């Protein structure tokens, strides 16, 4: 019985979520700013520091017809924080997003809509948000995240964890470009902790049998 409980716990910790291992993730999407969106919205990515984003692109997918209505070719290197902010620009080429790592025209629509991170051959990550009718096109993962009201965005609960289910991974929150929470412990530390707990349980069981 004790061994079964530890095995179940190990499944939850190790297999309950998928941590980013070298693949960038979409960690935050702010698509509905108060007033005009132009130059005031952003998409935040999370990846290991030093990761190059060359060859990757962001795509905004229209929930009504499944067409890509906006695309942004990425460039740059992820800094020491692990966060990389892609900020939309206004008609004058400037952005209101402080500390943006890349300023480029990219303005996703309000939901139902989706944002994808792609390379030349595949989708690396995607988040869809809003309520999709049966005839509409959801290009995210699992179930769609909640549609954020004006002034709020969608933040990944743990920037480095992807369970392939947008409804589980994202929550409505105030925008925080360049900041976020990462999961602790990392998988290796979790396995070590489980091994220690399993050993402690085995030792206690032996003591109980001996007495």
pLDDT at position 183, please?
84
Our measurement of the distance from residue 16's CA atom to the centroid of its chain's CA atoms, rounded to an integer in Å, reads 16
Across the chain, which has 211 residues, the per-10-residue mean pLDDT values are 39 42 90 95 97 98 97 97 97 96 96 97 97 98 96 97 97 97 65 48 49 52
CA–CA separation, 127 vs 168, rounded Å? 11
Both tokens of 1, joined, read 């019985």
Both tokens of 133, joined, read 């009718």
pLDDT at position 140, please?
98
DSSP state at residue 12:
I
Taking CA atoms, 31 is separated from 53, 106, 133, in Å, by 21, 10, 20
Both tokens of 8, joined, read 């179940």
DSSP secondary structure string for all residues of 139-151: -SSSSPBPPPPTT
CA–CA separation, 109 vs 196, rounded Å? 48
**Closest to 108 in 3D by CA, of 192, 166, 51, 32:** 32
Q: Are 108 and 29 in contact (CB under 8 A)?
A: yes
pLDDT at position 191, please?
52
**Closest to 28 in 3D by CA, of 208, 145, 133, 176:** 176
Hey, which residues does 129 pair with through a beta bridge?
113, 145
């Amino acid at each position: 019985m004790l061994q079964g409980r530890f095995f179940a716990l190990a499944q939850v910790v190790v297999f309950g979520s998928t941590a980013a291992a070298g693949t960038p993730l979409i960690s935050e999407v702010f698509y509905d700013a108060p007033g005009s969106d132009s130059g005031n919205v952003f998409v935040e990515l999370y990846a290991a520091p030093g990761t190059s984003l060359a060859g990757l692109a962001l795509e905004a997918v229209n929930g009504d017809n499944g067409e890509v209505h906006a695309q942004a070719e990425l460039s740059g290197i992820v800094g020491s924080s692990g966060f990389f902010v892609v900020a939309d620009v206004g008609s004058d080429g400037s952005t209101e997003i402080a500390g943006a790592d890349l300023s480029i025209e990219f303005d996703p629509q309000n939901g139902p809509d989706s944002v994808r991170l792609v390379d030349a051959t595949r989708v690396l990550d995607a988040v869809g948000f809003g309520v999709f009718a049966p005839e509409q096109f959801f290009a995210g993962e699992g179930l769609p995240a909640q549609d954020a009201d004006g002034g709020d965005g969608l933040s990944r609960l743990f920037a480095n964890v992807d369970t392939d289910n947008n409804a589980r991974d994202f929550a409505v929150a105030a925008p925080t470009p360049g900041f976020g929470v990462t999961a602790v412990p990392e998988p290796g530390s979790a396995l070590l902790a489980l091994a220690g707990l399993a050993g402690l349980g085995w030792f206690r069981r032996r003591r109980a049998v001996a007495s």
